[in-house]
Each structure stands twice: as C-alpha cells, then as structure tokens.
C-alpha cells in the first residue's frame, strides 16, 4: 500500500539543500498540508512546510519515471506570505492543479521529517 505523499516527500527532502533553496531538511518543523498525484509515468506533489524559523515555503515536486533511462526530479520553492494557506496554482503540463485534493492529515509525513536524513 502506498501512503499519499510519502514517496514524493522522501525524494524532495533528498534534493533540498540549504545553500540552493534557503533551507534544508533539518530546518523543517512539520508539514502543514500537501497534495500528491502519481501514475506510471510521473509523480507530482506539493507540500506547505512550517520551518523552525517561522517561514512557510511551498515545495512543488515533479518526478519523471525513467524506466530504462535516467530519472528526472525537479523542485521549485515559493515562500508563502503570512495568512496564505496554499500557493497560487502552478500547472504541471496538462494536469489540473493541484491534481489531488489538499490534505492537512500529515502525521505520516511529519514522522519522515522527525526521522531526519537517512
């Protein structure tokens, strides 16, 4: 059984780098909300995070499954202004945005954050 967002968050945490993105996995306090979508060809997810310093970035994640070729990952980061619960829509090619419902049930994702880097 696949738990929504777990796979995508793990890859996003692996890619996040404080020098490049302004924060790293150790700076994340928790996941506020997320959406996730996946099929045989790609996975996409969005995570609104709460950082330990109070900032709230939105991490937009896209992963193309490579099968017999190299996989490709992409993340984009936007800092959300105070009071904005979710980012403005950012379409992924032909997918509706977000392609999954927003969820605030994030306990399973917060356990990934609490476990730290593997």
Residue 16 CB: number of other CB atoms within 10 A?
22
**Mean pLDDT score of the chain, rounded to an integer?**
84
Mapping DSSP to helix (H, G, I), strand (E, B) and coil, where does residue 62 land?
strand
Name the CA dihedral angle for 87, 89, 93, 96, rounded to a multiple of 10 degrees. 120
- Output the CA–CA distances (angstroms, integers) from residue 74 to 49, 85, 102, 104, in the order listed: 17, 23, 20, 23
For residue 69, give the DSSP letter.
S
Average pLDDT of the segment spanning 62-86:
81
pTM: 0.85
Per-residue model confidence as pLDDT tens digits over 91-116 = 655 555 666 688 999 999 999 898 87
Average pLDDT of the segment spanning 31-48:
87
Per-residue model confidence as pLDDT tens digits over 1-23 = 357 888 889 989 998 999 999 99
Q: What pLDDT shows up at residue 41? A: 74
Which of 45, 36, 109, 40 shows the shortest CA–CA distance to 76?
45
Neighbour-count burial of 41, counting CB atoms closer than 10 A to its CB (0-12 exposed, 13-18 middle, 19+ buried): exposed
Q: Could you tell me the sign of the dihedral formed by the alpha carbons of 99, 74, 64, 33, in that order?
A: negative
Better-predicted residue by pLDDT, 92 or 55: 55
The pLDDT of residue 83 is above 70: yes
């Amino acid at each position: 059984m696949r738990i929504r967002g777990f796979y995508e968050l793990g890859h996003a945490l692996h890619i996040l780098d404080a020098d490049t993105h302004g924060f790293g996995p150790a700076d994340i306090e928790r996941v506020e909300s997320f959406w996730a979508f996946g099929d045989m060809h790609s996975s996409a997810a969005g995570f609104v995070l709460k950082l330990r310093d109070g900032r709230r970035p939105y991490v937009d994640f896209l992963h193309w499954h490579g099968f017999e070729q190299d996989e490709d990952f992409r993340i984009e980061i936007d800092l959300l202004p105070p009071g904005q619960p979710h980012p403005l829509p950012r379409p992924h090619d032909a997918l509706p945005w977000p392609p999954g419902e927003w969820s605030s049930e994030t306990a399973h994702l917060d356990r990934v954050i609490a476990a730290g880097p593997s």
